[in-house]
Amino acid sequence: MASTEPGKKPRQRADARRNRDKLIEVAADAFSQRGADASLEDIARRAGVGIGTLYRHFPTREHLVEVVYRRELERLAEAAVDLSADRPPDQALEEWMHRFVSYMATKRGMASSLKLLMTSNACLFTDGAALLRTAFGDLLARAISAGSIRGDIETVDVLTALSSIYSIPDMPDWRERAHRLIGLLMDGLRHQPVVKTG
């Protein structure tokens, strides 16, 4: 008996971690695809657990939203590093901006809960904005240094343009429109301004 008991607890902890990770993954997809209509019961079912398991990990919808939001921010920041290692600077920048659309889709799906979190956890948003600004700033700096985009721009300006995607009406084609806008934005970034002399 004594030899089996110690082995059970680590397995339970590992199962709990897997369940939690699966719930976060499924929730991110549900919020992105279904928005405010995503139900916790459906998220639990798709993750292969009971609703009681979901509530043990995430006592409220806002708690789940906060964890998903942090995960999406962290994934975007990590993507900046990965893309920088694998692609030319301007291509890394463009691909990151396309991934930003997926982040915005998830964020839009959590909008009502995020509004509640703004009043109780302002640091979540200030820290998140700083994380994205740093990650994107590094990508932008590499592309400018490589000469593949124009050098007379600021990180905050491009991020402001990207954030305007959030204002696109929530219609079935909004993602297609967002990706087209990124294409236009990249065309503008690649266009080198004419320097007048004399």
Q: What is the pLDDT of residue 3?
A: 44
For 114, half-sphere exposure in the C-beta direction (CA atoms, 13 angstrom radius) is: 17
pLDDT per position as a tens digit, 9-59: 555 588 889 999 999 999 999 998 888 788 999 999 999 999 999 999 999
Are 93 and 149 spatial neighbours (Cβ–Cβ below 8 Å)? Answer: yes
pLDDT per position as a tens digit, 53-100: 999 999 999 999 999 999 999 999 999 999 999 999 999 999 999 999
In 3-state terms the chain splits into helix, strand, coil percentages (rounded to 5) of 80, 0, 20
Rounded to whole angstroms, how far apart are CA atoms 162 and 144? 18
Lowest mean pLDDT across 39-48, 86-95, 114-123, 169-178: 114-123
Are 96 and 79 spatial neighbours (Cβ–Cβ below 8 Å)? Answer: yes
For 32, half-sphere exposure in the C-beta direction (CA atoms, 13 angstrom radius) is: 18
Report the 10 Å Cβ neighbour count for 39: 13
